[in-house]
Amino acid sequence: MKLSTRQITLISVFAALQVIMSRMPGIPIIGVESATIEPTVLLMPTIGILLGPWIGGLAAFIGNFIVWLIPSTTFFGMLMLPTGPVCAIVAGALARKGRESDWKVAALILVLLNALWYVSPPGFIVPYYPVLHLAALALVLAFRHQIAELVGSDEKKRVTWGTAIACFSSIMANHMTGTLIFIASVGWFVQLKGLKDAIVNLGFSWLKSGLPKEDPTGLGTLLAFVFPISVAERLLMTLLATLIGVGILYALKKSGIVKT
């Protein structure tokens, strides 16, 4: 793939922005010591919208890789490198104007991620966990190529709605990718021994009654415990990512760098 000067410039700019944003405090990941959700995830949808799914995915990976190297590396951080590109690819596929089939790429990714959830160990222990992820898939199937038309509109309200749908869908894809990687990593370096009893003993009665007795890995209990936190967290991320995306889009449109 031959990159244009403009694409190389934007890749460099957004990789640098990811490094800058990574210096902000992250969100702790329950169950993994010293691991956090990098605030750079808020920038990933915009990268995809501006650069398209594949160039945007490349920019997100490069930025993620640099962030992983600085200041220290961890095995868990390396495993999480794909989450950024997936986020950018979904947003870029939805916002790609002039190619109506691109929304199908985003839909396929969301279908695959949701399907993988239900074949994972906690899939039927906590069947309601991907409620937002399924909502994102429903929005993609409902609006399809109209999302790109909204993002490319001259009307601020339409741009905001289109950007919000793209951001929500891509952030949920990012979240499920990270969750599945976390599930797969249990037993390698994430130890959940005794976690279920510890959480239940804290007095969360809804966990005691809402989960089956058989949860050998403890994953079901952990994910049920963080479910309301995840919902609030991802909705807030969608709001912030939308504000960032709309602001950058308008700034670049006025400068002439991005055409409507």
* Three-state DSSP class for residue 28: strand
What are the contacts of 61-66 at 24+ separation with CB within 8 A? 61/85, 62/11, 62/15, 63/14, 63/15, 63/16, 63/17, 63/18, 63/19, 64/18, 64/40, 66/15, 66/18, 66/19
DSSP 29: P
What are phi and psi for residue 186, nearest 5 degrees?
-60, 130
Question: What was the pLDDT predicted at 180?
Answer: 93
Q: Which residues of the chain carry a pLDDT beneath 70?
A: 1-2, 25-37, 71-75, 98-101, 187-218, 256-260
Question: What was the pLDDT predicted at 56?
Answer: 92
What are phi and psi for residue 28, nearest 5 degrees?
-60, 140
Report the chain's terminal Cα–Cα distance, integer Å.
Answer: 25
Token pair 């249990």 in the structure block, residue: 186
CA pair distance 12, 221, nearest whole angstrom: 42
Question: What was the pLDDT predicted at 131?
Answer: 96
pLDDT in tens, 127-171: 999 999 999 999 999 999 999 999 988 888 999 999 999 999 999
User: Which residue ranges make up each domain of the chain?
Assistant: 5-255
